[in-house]
Structure 1
Amino acid sequence: MTVEGTTERVLRLLALLQHRPSWTATELAAELGVTDRSVRRDVERLRVLGYPVHATAGVGGGYQLGAGTRLPPLLFDDEEAIATAVSLRLASGGTVAGAGEAALRALAKLDQVMPPRLRAEVRAVHGATDTLTGPGVEIDQELLVTLARACRDAVRVRFRYAAREGGESERTVEPVRMVATGRRWYLMAWDTGRDDWRTFRLDRMREVAATTWRFKPRPHPDPVAYVQRGTTEAPYRYLARVRVHARPAQVQELVPPQVARVEEDRDGWCVLIVGGDDLNWMAVHVALVPFEAEVLEPPELREAIARLARRLTAMAEPT
């Protein structure tokens, strides 16, 4: 038998072992159309590849695929592949804490080898499914897979990017990591045209294409902290710093990370850093923090809070 024939038979043997808990050598030989001796040789080949195939002798004995010290490659039939891909797509949306990034990596691997007919089935299931989550910007899953592969393989990405104030520009970047805030997805990447780190909103990216140009990853800031700083500070007209008499963890329970940053301070205080374009809106939200607080900056926010206090006092007085 040729090497190709032997390889195909070993893969069939693996699929059989994954299909049910235990097989006798005679049963496997009948399924594969070979002798018991050939079954034993193929079992040894699987063991060399890292698959822990256990054998028990005597009546009721046989071969069983067990758990090993590392995860070997798995074989999926069509239904299993579709179910796995759909589950990974849902997990990549951030509905499972800590699973989004790992789900994207696994989805990128699976999508790379999945036949077109199965990929179409997965898209159909995803297109007919809604998830009950908070308001956010929906991102095309193909875009997520493209960027996940580019981050994994360290290849440059080209796309058109819509600026916040309008207009589009051509960008070429070296992607590092995607960060999901719960409402939006962001890409942290080295912008080759600006020669600096940048944060890009995925919903503003168009015509995204991974190139074949590989790059050597360079030292970079922490992606989560970098994206958080960019989303809570950079885009806004005003940047407020409010000293709060509480532990950082207490404030973080009330203020989402995509809205504000919280820094440790002395003597049981912390500093809340939040950006905004509307001082009245910022005044309301700062006033809702249920701890003793003082506005460090800007002075315009203190004036807005004073106006809010006068208005609330007037509303509370009987007519």
Structure 2
Amino acid sequence: MIPVDKDQLLFYYYYMRMAKYDRLLFILNLLRTRRNLNAAMIAAECGVTERTIYRDVISISEANVPIYYDRGYKYASDNFLPPLNFNIDEYLTLISILESSPLYKSGLETKKIRSIKAKIEACLSQNVRKEKSFASKTTRIHIKSTETGKIKNRFYATIEQGIRESKIVRLRYNSIESGISEREIEPYFMIFIERAFYFVGYCYLRGEMRTFRIDRILKVSLTDKIFRPREDVDPKAYFKDSWGVYGGEPVNVRVLMTGKAARIVQMGKHHPSEEITIIDDNKIEYRVTVSGTEEICRWLLGFGGDITVIEPNSLIKEVQKRAGNILKNYK
């Protein structure tokens, strides 16, 4: 006879019970907020088989919760869950935030966010539920993402688990600078910026903290190696002086801007440390301290002949080099 670990069986039993109860509550939320759902539709939402849904419906009925079937399953009472005290404006704002999330737009956590929305809608008062059916949708924040696909979902989930459990992840990574390499990383946090998800971790190959773009990962796996989180790792401090995502040594940058560049830069805030001196109606001096110059170099080149870098010398040379390479293509 194969030996049985009673602790594992007990854990499995309680885990399955909790998973089922969570699913039953989710089904009730669906029935309160959507109409004409059949077993196949509910099964797709829950990620289980239709047979499981039929068993769930029996369990719900045995608990004296009034549901019935009429061109789809329906919930016969509004007294099961207490209403939340959201008014219509609060509800629409909350839904707008959820649907505008990069996690929703990129497809990484769409199912979870739909579940959250269903639970919120199931607990609304009758008045708000009636009002929302007539209310127009509020302004949405359209966040573009370059990351889609199930394989990226798995990458995201694996890295998230590594962060949560303090486990080292093993990557096959395609770096723009150095090409494909194998690395082991202590993952610390993730961030969505400039249309993509990144994560920051300590790279054993480079011996320093590095930023990795998730859609450049070719393969990822979670190791059994536990790491002790470094006390000096702070997301706010890490990105404090960065222009976008990547870090580096702090550099003081001074740029003369004219014409369109001067007008655009004065219209908004581009970096916490920036300072602007107006020279005349058509010229400004722009000063900023950034970590590394790669990203600000690309930004400045977008203004073409409307910018002149004053310092540092390294940035002047880089702008000259890239502008020269562009000109070569048109000779």
TM class, shorter-length = 0.3 to 0.5
Give the TM-score normalised by the residue count of structure 2: 0.44
Larger radius of gyration: 1
TM-score by length of 1: 0.45
